Amino acid sequence: MITTEIARRWRDAPCVEVGMDGRWVRFAAPGRSVYLECYAWDEQTRPHYLVVAPEDDGADQVRYTTLDEALWAVRVLCGREG
């Protein structure tokens, strides 16, 4: 599950919701939510990570190849990194 890996890397992550399948997490960010989703078509596929930041006029979405890169982007969007 992605939540275990997030907790290992970011102990005080502002997680507020987890998908029932454990593949996505919603984070609390100032004035909005940020989503991180692990996606792959099957267990043998190398996972990628999608970071989504909804806005009033749509959503910014960026795909990352590692969880560390994706979490860095989430931290920036949550105001936790410079």
pLDDT tens digits, one per residue of 33-55: 999 999 875 667 777 899 999 88
Instruction: Give the Cα separation of 13 and 79 in Å (integer).
Output: 11
Name the residue among 27, 30, 51 with its Cα closest to residue 39.
Answer: 51
| pTM score | 0.85
Instruction: Give the Cα separation of 57 and 60 in Å (integer).
Output: 10
Name the residue among 59, 71, 65, 60 with its Cα closest to residue 25.
Answer: 71
Domain boundaries, given as residue ranges, for the chain: 2-77
pLDDT tens digits, one per residue of 4-32: 899 999 999 999 999 998 889 999 988 88
Q: Specify the pLDDT at position 41.
A: 57
